[in-house]
Amino acid sequence: MQIIAMLTMLIDHIGVIFYSEESFLRILGRLSFPLYAFALVRGYYHTSNMPRYLLRLAILAAVSQLPYQWALLDDGVNVVAALLVCLLALLSLDRFKHPAAVLGTIAGAALLLELLQFDYGYYGLALVLIYRYTRGEWQLLLHLLLNVAVAVEKGWAIQMLSLLSTATLLYTPQLYRSLDKVRVPRLLWLSFYPAHLIALGLVREIMLAAG
For residues 8 and 162, is the Cβ–Cβ distance under 8 A? Answer: no
Closest CA to 110 of 125, 92, 131: 125
The answer for residues whose C-beta is within 8 angstroms of residue 102's C-beta and 6 or more apart is 93, 96
Give 157-172 pLDDT, tens digit per residue. Answer: 999 999 999 999 998 8
d(CA 144, CA 166): 10
For residues 13 and 71, is the Cβ–Cβ distance under 8 A? Answer: yes
pLDDT tens by residue, the chain, 211 residues = 788 899 999 999 999 999 988 889 999 999 999 999 999 999 999 998 999 999 999 999 999 999 999 999 999 999 999 999 999 999 999 999 899 999 999 999 999 999 999 999 999 999 999 999 999 999 999 999 999 999 999 999 999 999 999 999 998 877 666 766 677 788 888 899 999 999 999 999 999 998 7
Give 76-100 pLDDT, tens digit per residue. Answer: 999 999 999 999 999 999 999 899 9
Phi then psi dihedrals of residue 77, to 5 deg: -110, 140
